[in-house]
Amino acid sequence: MTEKQSGPAPDNHWLVRPSTIRILWILFIAMLAATVVAQLFVEPHASFGIDGWLGFAAVFGFSSCALMVVVAKLLGYILKRPEGHYDD
């Protein structure tokens, strides 16, 4: 007797659809562009020399996000267990 899998099929999840991925990339790039445009109208109060540069917030946000993805991937490899680890 086989059990039915509950929920949507793994290939049909909304986060793995190419159209959703494209929309998320467009939104992410639009947000980065908006921070650069906003910096044209708002004077930054820089604490360090580099954080007063045009586009610093966008570059910092993108690089921080990319770094978090890389660190999460590395942690996944470090913490990964063999497939039969919890079997008797």
Taking only the tens place, the pLDDT of each residue in 41-66 is: 988 888 988 888 888 888 898 899 99
Is residue 4 classed as helix, strand or coil in its secondary structure?
coil
Q: How far apart are CA 88 and CA 59, in angstroms?
A: 49
Confidence of residue 1 (pLDDT cuts 50, 70, 90): very low
Question: 27-39 pLDDT, tens per residue?
Answer: 988 988 888 898 8
Is 85 among the domain residues?
no
The answer to whether residue 17 is domain-embedded is yes
Checking if the pLDDT of 80 tops 90, the result is no
Residue among 65, 55, 69 nearest 28 (CA) = 65
Domain with 63, as residue range(s), is 10-79
For residue 80, report the phi and psi dihedrals to the nearest 5 degrees. -65, 140
Per-residue pLDDT at 3 exceeds 60? no
- HSE-up of 31 (CA within 13 Å, CB side)? 10
Q: How many domains does the chain have?
A: 1
The CA distance from 41 to 58, in Å, is 15
Amino acid (one-letter) located at 47? S
Query: Can you read off the two tokens belonging to residue 66?
Result: 């990319």
